[in-house]
Amino acid sequence: MSGDQAPQQERGSIVSVCDVPALGLCGQVLSAVEEPAEVLGQELIAPGIYRMRLRCPQVARQILPGQFFMLRSLDRTDPLLGRPFALLDIVRDAAGEPIGLDFGYHVVGKFTNLLSQCAAGTVLDIWGPLGNGFAPVTSGHLAIVAGGIGQTPFVAVLKELLGLERYGEPTRSVSGRPSQITFCYGARTKNLLAGMEWFQLPGVEIRVATDDGTAGHHGFVTDVLQRLMASANPPTTVLCCGPEPMMRAVQKLTVPAQIPAWLSLESPMACGFGACFSCVARIRQPDGSWDYRRTCVEGPIFPAADVVFEADA
Ligand SMILES: Cc1cc2nc3c(=O)[nH]c(=O)nc-3n(C[C@H](O)[C@H](O)[C@H](O)COP(=O)(O)OP(=O)(O)OC[C@H]3O[C@@H](n4cnc5c(N)ncnc54)[C@H](O)[C@@H]3O)c2cc1C
Ligand code: FES
């Protein structure tokens, strides 16, 4: 991510994308807020992978499963731009009020390195919630396919579907739930299967794959999906988040089989609310051609059938 201009926002205010009416983005980010986010703590959950807890009541009250937020350091200008992270789950106080959120992150570069050194009490800059989020899946066999750190958005997805947590302001009500849920989770090796315990939820069947065979299926998590698709009760909906080659493989399996699938893209982003166009992805148009769409406002979740990966363009 290269450093240019920091996004123009006022602290604690509505993100002002409506000042750009030609973009027509108001429906997507009208309610996004910026607030100081105090680090309440963090823990190492796998090599190079952390779970961090932030106090940020305004964002926590509104955020939906699959949405994301941007984080930036308040006392450093390097890196200058914010970085996007997905909601893992919201945190409530003793009275049941949302006071903050948890997210998981993988240390890959400048900002995530900085995050890993943040002690409790450090205050960061957060803005969100951003993006479209996952629509609740209320029937059929839901298969979730996650790779690497791409598993984190599905904690909130599952808790909402199972009636274990409620999200959004006003609170989103979900009527109905899938008759079967299979969570397929892949990593390079066993000790990188971070947060497995979060998915041990009633009614969720977990299937694991590792590239080196140290846990579960020896091979790709998409092999697990392929087997599931050949079973007596194949998935009727697939949600997916993870490395691009994995999402492309999920697309190649689900689209010909006409199984509705949604991919959560992790395009690098600079502003998160539609102003800079640094996050564009190629998205299929109704006439069969493709055009660029901003992952931060029109995504990050797109129908698998509409995504045109670079390798296929
Ligand atoms: C909607 C969304 C949600 C995300 N949620 C999470 C999350 O919950 N947890 C998490 O760990 N990460 C998540 N990411 C990815 C995360 O934003 C990047 O890992 C982060 O920005 C890296 O910042 P950095 O300064 O540490 O790395 P940088 O110093 O900016 O980059 C380090 C290396 O990583 C590469 N890189 C940076 N960003 C990306 C990216 N998005 N995709 C592929 N390569 C990249 C760079 O090209 C470079 O090679 C998400 C991304 C998006 C778009
Ligand atoms: S990140 Fe700026 S337009 Fe998407």
Q: What is the pLDDT of residues 265-286, one digit of tens each?
A: 999 999 999 999 999 999 999 9
Domain with 248 in it: what CATH number?
3.40.50.80
Assigned domain for 47 exists: yes
For residue 147, the one-letter residue type is: G
Domain boundary among 130, 163, 191: 130
Q: What is the pLDDT of residues 205-257, one digit of tens each?
A: 999 999 999 999 999 999 999 999 999 999 999 999 999 999 999 999 999 99
Residue 21: asked if its preceding bond is cis (omega within 30°), the reply is: no
Judgement on whether residues 247 and 154 belong to the same structural domain of the protein: yes
Judgement on whether residues 44 and 88 belong to the same structural domain of the protein: yes
What gap in Å lies between CA 206 and CA 302, rounded to an integer?
A: 24
Q: Is the CB of 1 under 6 A from ligand 1?
A: yes
Assigned domain for 302 exists: no
Mean local confidence (pLDDT), 102-123: 97
To test the ligand 1 pocket, which listed residue (4, 50, 83) has its Cβ within 8 A of the most ligand atoms? 83
Domain with 68 in it: what CATH number?
2.40.30.10
Assigned domain for 3 exists: no
What gap in Å lies between CA 126 and CA 144, rounded to an integer?
A: 28
Q: What is the pLDDT of residues 85-102, one digit of tens each?
A: 999 999 999 999 999 999
Half-sphere exposure of 2 (CA within 13 A, CB side): 4
Q: Is the CB of 279 under 6 A from ligand 2?
A: yes
What gap in Å lies between CA 128 and CA 101, rounded to an integer?
A: 12
Judgement on whether residues 158 and 91 belong to the same structural domain of the protein: no
Domain boundary among 221, 245, 264: 264
What gap in Å lies between CA 162 and CA 159, rounded to an integer?
A: 5
Judgement on whether residues 86 and 106 belong to the same structural domain of the protein: yes
Judgement on whether residues 148 and 202 belong to the same structural domain of the protein: yes
Res 24 pLDDT > 50: no
Ligand 1 centroid–CA 200 distance in Å is 27
Question: Residue of the nearest CA to atom 10 in ligand 1?
Answer: 105
What gap in Å lies between CA 85 and CA 126, rounded to an integer?
A: 10
Q: Is the pTM of this model over 0.85?
A: yes
To test the ligand 2 pocket, which listed residue (68, 80, 85, 296) has its Cβ within 8 A of the most ligand atoms? 296
| Arithmetic mean of pLDDT over the chain | 91
Question: Residue of the nearest CA to atom 28 in ligand 1?
Answer: 109
Q: Where on the phi/psi map is residue 115: left (φ > 0), alpha (ψ -120 to 50), or beta?
A: alpha
Q: Is the CB of 130 under 6 A from ligand 2?
A: no
Q: What is the pLDDT of residue 6?
A: 33
The closest-lying atom of ligand 2 relative to the alpha carbon of residue 84 is 1
Assigned domain for 272 exists: no
Judgement on whether residues 125 and 191 belong to the same structural domain of the protein: no
Instruction: Please report which confidence band the pLDDT of residue 31 belongs to, taking 50, 70 and 90 as the band edges.
Output: confident
Q: Is the CB of 296 under 6 A from ligand 2?
A: yes
Res 10 pLDDT > 60: no
What range does the domain containing 159 cover? 141-264
Q: What is the pLDDT of residue 312?
A: 87
Instruction: Please report which confidence band the pLDDT of residue 2 belongs to, taking 50, 70 and 90 as the band edges.
Output: very low
Assigned domain for 292 exists: no
Q: What is the pLDDT of residue 71?
A: 98
To test the ligand 1 pocket, which listed residue (45, 53, 85, 134) has its Cβ within 8 A of the most ligand atoms? 85
**Per-residue buried b or exposed e for 76-110, using 16+ beta carbons within 10 Å of the residue's own CB:** eeebebbbbbbbbbbbeeeeeebbbbbbbbbbeee
Judgement on whether residues 112 and 169 belong to the same structural domain of the protein: no
Judgement on whether residues 173 and 67 belong to the same structural domain of the protein: no
Domain count, the chain: 2
Question: Residue of the nearest CA to atom 4 in ligand 1?
Answer: 85
Judgement on whether residues 160 and 260 belong to the same structural domain of the protein: yes
What gap in Å lies between CA 176 and CA 163, rounded to an integer?
A: 10
Judgement on whether residues 107 and 220 belong to the same structural domain of the protein: no
Assigned domain for 161 exists: yes
Q: What is the pLDDT of residue 311?
A: 85
Domain boundary among 130, 163, 184: 130
